[in-house]
Amino acid sequence: MRRVLLLGSLAYGLLFFGLATLNGGMLALAIPLVVLLGAAFLWGPGAPRLRITRSLSAESIAPGTPVVVTLSVINEGPPLEEITIGDIVPPALEVTDGEASVLTSLPTGEVVEIAYAVRGKRGVFEFQDVQVTAGERLGVFRRHAMLPVPGRFSVLPEVSKMPQVTLHPLRTRAYAGPVPARQGGSGVAFYGVREYQSGDPLRWINWRMSARHSHELFTNEFEQERVADVGLILDSRRRSDVRGRSGTLLDHAISATASLAASLLNDGNRVGLLVYGGFLDWTFPGYGKLQRKRILEALAQVEPGESMIFESFDYLPTRFFPAKSQLVLVSSLCTDDLQMLVRLRARGYQLLIVSPDPVSFEAQVLRTRPGVDLAARIAHLERALLLRKLRRAGIQVVDWQVDRPLARVVHASLGRTPQWFRAVGLEV
Amino acid sequence: MQEAGRKITAWLLPAGTVLAAASLAMGYGLNELWGGAVTVGVVGAFWVVGQWRRWGWVASVALVLLIGAAAVGLWLGAGGGWMLVGVVAALVAWDLDRFAWRMRAAGRVEDADALERCHLQRLLTVSGAGLLLGAAALSLRVRLGFAVAFLLALLAVLGLSRVVGFLRREGD
């Protein structure tokens, strides 16, 4: 439009100047401009009729892995002398290879392909429109169009390998798994002794105890191991998030939740996810690889949220989780969360908290000054007190300084380290 | 091959600019309008610098200034031929500047050589036609009555309005 306006204004200007000065030469000067405009009018393109298809090399990927985006454009309308086709790349993505736009001429029925690779951090990325600018060869008259060609892919959070997490829920499910079920039966760990019942395997008979009773036999019982219902809760409240040098604390919390979900699902447990922040995002409990994918997809979309309602844990919807099941909360914790967490424990939920330490994380960003050091010490003490109160209420707490690998911290806190290993001071 | 094709534009663009400025300066100079000649020279130099530094806005500003200079020169009695050549050369340089910008802005150019060749053919045709028609208009001497001249001017304005209106409505 600006080109047409510029040339049109110049031509008008010359015409009026010529009329005003009664100088015929001015009209002659306007002729090249009028010819240029006439050529644009004559050879101007019709409305572009293009069929564009988008294909992505993957729907969900690990961070840092490139995705190849391919656009295939077929001209189903009149020939286009000069056309620029540009894909609108979401701003958070980085083009690592190829180009997202092409300038070409496109005769009827011809196909042009645009292929480029993008890379991004955790998130869900949606492609919407492709921008098309068709013009005649001189580029004076151009038509713009935005053609919707949707596409979507997710960059999943990083999943690190975790050791087996020991859970002790009050209630387990019927299927065999790794969680001690607090019930005697077949298993590995010794649970108790009972009278012999017909059908008991002979090797389970406790001969030492049976020898003390002349007419009775006794059988060893082992603790049953089953799968459990685990509710993962990720705290995505903005007030519990801290921005540091290497991203945010929420990014670490998300990565920890993903690793825990993968580990728990790997052990055969039924796992659900609740993201608690600006709103409630609930992933219904399930088993296996499909559930792992669902949870990672949900975690890929997590952003810090702010809400008057969900500012504290008071509105944590416990009805989502089966009674007496295991809850795993990943949160940096705020002081006023104590009441609700103790209440949850009192309702019979077995609660494990993995808490990324916001004080150490923020202290790394701040410069060392006497005031900052003092404030950090006070904050450390407040946090230590909060964690102690939680532990005293029977809640398992993993205090995680995010510069240490989560797997090591979890293993040290919850892993099944043999008693004798710890007795000789060889803590992991 | 693609680079060779782009070299033609890279060579023609400053050549067109220099020709436009030189032609207008010559028209002014031959009539001893030295102030105009120097001004036109400065505008031309500014445009060349703009092309070198890739200042996109300079081309349109310089086109307006050079065409304005041609109109003023003609009014002051400078040679019509020089002014017409200056206008056509300025239009060619402006078009090539825009074309080079489009080539640079696109991430990938498919068959840049053919695209440039077709562009130059079209540009040559259009600017040649403009130059010929303009020269014919300058050399023609037709005596018209006021009513006929007014009617023709009105027709020209209306026709141009329709073209510009259509291009604005249908284009970007």
Per-residue pLDDT tens over the stretch A215-253: 889 998 887 777 788 999 999 999 888 888 778 999 999
> pLDDT at position A58, please?
93
* Rounded Cα–Cα distance for residues B45 and B51 (Å): 10
DSSP 8-state secondary structure symbol assigned to residue A268: T
The tokens describing A197, both together, are 């019942």
Fold annotation for A229-423: Rossmann fold (3.40.50)
* Rounded Cα–Cα distance for residues A322 and A272 (Å): 10
ipTM: 0.88
Is the per-residue pLDDT at B4 higher than 50? no
> pLDDT at position A16, please?
83
Considering only the beta carbons, identify the residue of A28, A37, A137 that sits closest to B84. A28
Within 8 A of B129 by CB-CB distance, chain A residues are 35
Is the per-residue pLDDT at A125 higher than 80? yes
Q: Could you tell me how many residues make up chain A?
A: 428
Number of A to B CB contacts under 8 A, please give it. 176
> pLDDT at position B151, please?
81
> pLDDT at position A246, please?
74
**Where does the pLDDT of residue A83 fall: very low under 50, low under 70, confident under 90, or very high at 90 and above?**
very high
Nearest Cα of chain A lies from the Cα of B171 at a distance, in angstroms, of 5
Check B168 against A4: CB less than 8 A apart.
yes
> pLDDT at position A428, please?
42
Within 8 A of A115 by CB-CB distance, chain B residues are none
> pLDDT at position A1, please?
58
DSSP labels for B69-120? HHHHHHHTT--HHHHHHHHHHHHHHHHHHHHHHHHHHSSEETTHHHHHHHHH
Hey, is B54 helix, strand or coil?
coil
- Surface-to-core class of residue A259, CB atoms within 10 Å of its CB (0-12 exposed, 13-18 middle, 19+ buried): buried
* Rounded Cα–Cα distance for residues B25 and B44 (Å): 10
Per-window interface: A 26-65 vs B, CB < 8 A: 26-29, 31-41, 43-44
Nearest Cα of chain A lies from the Cα of B70 at a distance, in angstroms, of 8
Is the per-residue pLDDT at B20 higher than 60? yes
Is the per-residue pLDDT at A26 higher than 90? no
Q: Does B144 touch chain A (CB under 8 A)?
A: no
> pLDDT at position A240, please?
86
**Where does the pLDDT of residue B1 fall: very low under 50, low under 70, confident under 90, or very high at 90 and above?**
very low
> pLDDT at position A300, please?
94
- Mean pLDDT, chain B, rounded, equals 87
Q: Where is pLDDT greater, at B127 or A267?
A: B127
Q: Does A290 touch chain B (CB under 8 A)?
A: no
Is the per-residue pLDDT at B167 higher than 80? no
* Rounded Cα–Cα distance for residues B13 and A137 (Å): 17
Q: Does A140 touch chain B (CB under 8 A)?
A: yes
> pLDDT at position B5, please?
45
Report the relative pairing of strands A176-195 and A218-226 from DSSP bridges. antiparallel
Check A103 against B122: CB less than 8 A apart.
no
Nearest Cα of chain A lies from the Cα of B105 at a distance, in angstroms, of 9
* Rounded Cα–Cα distance for residues A399 and A411 (Å): 12
Q: Does B13 touch chain A (CB under 8 A)?
A: no
Q: Does A75 touch chain B (CB under 8 A)?
A: no
Strand pairing partners for A82? A135
Instruction: Select the residue from A89, A138, A146 to test the B interface by mutation, using most B Cβ atoms within 10 A.
Output: A138
DSSP 8-state secondary structure symbol assigned to residue A195: E
> pLDDT at position A89, please?
94
Q: Does A112 touch chain B (CB under 8 A)?
A: yes
Is the per-residue pLDDT at A74 higher than 70? yes
- Mean pLDDT, chain A, rounded, equals 87
Q: Does A146 touch chain B (CB under 8 A)?
A: no
Instruction: Select the residue from A10, A17, A31 to test the B interface by mutation, using most B Cβ atoms within 10 A.
Output: A31
A270: amino acid identity, one letter: R
Q: Does B91 touch chain A (CB under 8 A)?
A: yes
The secondary element (H helix, E strand) that includes residue A40 is helix A24-43
Q: What is the pLDDT of residues B94-134, one digit of tens each?
A: 999 999 999 888 888 988 889 999 999 999 999 999 999 99
Q: Where is pLDDT greater, at A243 or B68?
A: B68
A287: amino acid identity, one letter: Y
Share of chain A above pLDDT 90, in %: 45
| CATH superfamily label, A50-155 | Immunoglobulins (2.60.40.10)
Q: Does A372 touch chain B (CB under 8 A)?
A: no
Nearest Cα of chain A lies from the Cα of B116 at a distance, in angstroms, of 9
> pLDDT at position A187, please?
74
Within 8 A of A103 by CB-CB distance, chain B residues are 102-103, 105-106, 108-110, 115
Considering only the beta carbons, identify the residue of A5, A105, A140 that sits closest to B115. A105
Share of chain A above pLDDT 70, in %: 96
Q: Does A96 touch chain B (CB under 8 A)?
A: no
The C-alpha angle A52, A54, A60, rounded to 5 degrees, equals 165
> pLDDT at position A424, please?
58
Q: Where is pLDDT greater, at A328 or A278?
A: A328
> pLDDT at position B40, please?
93
Please provide residue A126's backbone torsions phi and psi, each rounded to the nearest 5 degrees.
-115, 130
